[in-house]
Amino acid sequence: GSRALRMIRAVRIIKTARHVRELRLMLAAIAASLTSLTWALVLIGLALSLFGIFVLQVVDDFIYARGGPENVPEAMMTYYGSLPRTLLTLFTSVTGGADWMDVAEPLLAISSF
């Protein structure tokens, strides 16, 4: 029902674009930039993943040296307890979803840099 209506509206917009040169140029520019956008997102994802693995390794070594997760701050396990949590923490820090001091504070137990 509503999905078909949205598709019809999208087709109408595209048909209208044939008659409006500026709109057609904008749509072509957006389509041409998708490849660059994809590679930029891949690069950001790769950088976050590599840094996340590094941080997780440091945290894991700290947890092991302390004798287990029960001997480290709870926030450390919340933010850095697994690779998915670490990646989520890094992503939310970079995109503004989490305050940097909140997620950096548990790491201060390891080192004050």
To 5 degrees, how large is the angle CA 67–CA 73–CA 71? 20
The lowest-confidence range among 1-5, 14-18, 49-53, 56-60 is 14-18
pLDDT category at 112 given cuts 50, 70, 90 is low
pLDDT, one tens digit per residue, over 79-104 is 999 999 999 999 999 999 999 999 99
pLDDT tens for 23-43 read 788 888 999 999 999 999 999
Report yes or no: 86 and 55 within 8 Å, Cβ to Cβ.
yes
- On the 0-12 / 13-18 / 19+ scale of CB atoms within 10 A, 2 is exposed
